[in-house]
Amino acid sequence: MGPVFWFILIALCIYTVIPTLLVRLLGWGVYRRGEMRRTAYLTFDDGPDPEYTPKLLDLLRQYGVKATFFVLGAKAQEHPELIRRMRGEGHLIGIHNYSHWANALMSPGKVRRQIAAAARVIEEITGERPVYYRPPWGIINLFDFGLLREFRMVLWSLIPGDWRSRGGKARIQRRLESRFRDGAVIVLHDSGQTLGADEDAPQYMLQALEEFIGGMRERQYTFLRVDELNREKGKPSGLAWYRRLPVALWLKWEAVYHALFALEPVDPDNRLLYYRVCTYHGRSILLPDGEEIRKGDRVIELHFNNEMIFHIAGGTRSMMQLAVQLIRAVQELLPKMAERLMSDAVTRDIKGIYGITMINRGPKQFGFTVTDLPKGLFYIVSKLYLRLLLLVIHPQGKQRLEVKKELLTPKVLAISAKELQRRYSASPEYITVSE
Q: Hey, which residues are catalytic here?
A: 45, 189
Q: Which residues are registered as beta bridge partners of 207?
A: none
- Report which residue type is found at 360: N
Whether residue 265 is preceded by a cis peptide bond, meaning omega within 30 degrees of 0, is no
Nearest-5° angle of CA 263, CA 264, CA 270? 130
Q: Count CB neighbours of 207 within 10 A.
A: 16
End-to-end CA distance of the chain: 63
**405, 398 contact by CB (below 8 A):** no
Compute the distance between CA of residue 268 and CA of residue 240 in angstroms, rounded to an integer.
31
Rounded-to-integer distance, Cα 132 and Cα 127, Å? 15
Which of helix, strand or coil describes residue 217? helix
Specify whether the CB–CB gap between 232 and 288 falls below 8 A.
no
- Nearest alpha-carbon partner for 306 in 283, 273, 278, 336: 273
Nearest CA-CA partner of 161 in 192, 140, 183, 134: 192
- Which residues in 42-65 are b (16+ Cβ under 10 Å) and which e? bbbbbbbbeebbbebbebbeeeeb
For residue 42, the cross-strand partners are: 186
**Residue among 419, 316, 297 at smallest CA distance from 359:** 316
Residue 182 φ/ψ, nearest 5 degrees: -50, 135
- How far out from the chain centre does Cα 188 lie? 15
